[in-house]
Amino acid sequence: MMRLQGKKALITGAGQGIGKVAAMRFAKEGATVCVVDINGEAGRQTVEEIKSSGGHAVSVTGDVSNAESCKAIFIEAESALSGINVLFNNAGIRDAKDTNPVDTPLSVWERTLEVNLTSIFLSCKYAIPAILRSGGGSVINNASIVAVVGSVFPQIAYTASKGGVTALTRELAIAYARRGIRFNCICPGPTRTERLEVFFDGREEFDSRRKFIPMGRMAEPIEIANLALFLASDEASYINGAMNIIDGGITGAYVASDLLSDV
C-alpha cells in the first residue's frame, strides 16, 4: 500500500529543489499534492511532471511570506484538494549578502526572516484550521543544521531564521498534540540543489566545504524528501516536536582548529 494513500498534501517552494522532489515523491506514494511556488511557471512544471508519472497534483501561485497572498493560497488549496492533511513548509531563501552582522544589510536580514520564518507562521496560521477540518495531520517545517550548531561560514540572518523555525515547531507541537496535528522539523546539512550551487565559486570552494562533511558529499534532494515523506506518513504517528537532523554526520563530528583556520 502506498504510504500517503488518500492524503492531501501542500508543499511550499515546490517549483524546484527539495520541494519539487518532495512533491513528486509524495504523489508517487498516493498523495494528491498542491504545489505552491511564487514562480507560477515552475510550479506548473512540477505539476505536469507529476501528472505525466500518473500522479495527482494542482498548482497554486503565491507568496507565502505575504499575509494576504498566503491566506488566499490556503483557501484555494483547501478547495482544490477537498481538505489538507499534510503541510511541508519548504520555501526558503539564502542571500549571498547574508554574512556577518556587521556587513549584512538590514534589508537582507528582514527579507530572510520574512521568507524563512514569517512564511511558516503564516502558513501554519491558515493551514491549521484546514487540517483540523480534515481530521488532523502532519506539518513538517524545513529548518537547517545551523539551527543547532554554529557555522564557520557566516550567514547570520539565515541562521537566526532557521533557529526560529525549530523553536516555532516545538511550540506548535505542544499546542496541538492533543488535537491531532503533529509538528516536526527537518534540519538538513548542505544539499545539492540549484539554489545552493550558485553560492559555490567553482570546485575549490566546494572542496573547502566538503571536508567538513564526514560522508564526503552533500545530500541529494531525494534524501531530504524521503525524510519528509516519513514524517508526513502515519508511520511517524508518535513523532512530534522533533528536530530531525539529516546531515551526513556533520553535527556529530569534531572539527579541528587547523581546519577552521583554512576557511
Q: Which helix (H) or strand (E) holds 76?
A: helix 67-81
Nearest to 8 by CA among 31, 30, 26, 25: 31
Nearest to 94 by CA among 182, 43, 48, 158: 158
DSSP 53: T
Spatial separation of the C-alpha atoms in residues 155 and 177, rounded to whole Å:
33
Give the SS3 label for residue 55: coil
Scanning 138-193, the segments in alpha helix (DSSP H) are 156-176
**φ, ψ of residue 92 in degrees (nearest 5):** -170, 165
Could you tell me how far CA 233 lies from the centroid of its own chain? 16
Q: What residues are labeled active site?
A: 158
Query: Could you tell me the three cell numbers for 212?
Result: 567538513
Residues 148 and 187: beta-carbon distance below 8 Å? yes
Phi-psi region of 3 (alpha: psi -120 to 50; beta: other; left: phi over 0): alpha
Query: Could you tell me the three cell numbers for 37?
Result: 511556488
Give the SS3 label for residue 215: coil
Spatial separation of the C-alpha atoms in residues 118 and 64, rounded to whole Å:
8
Query: Could you tell me the three cell numbers for 75?
Result: 483557501
Amino acid occupying residue 25: R
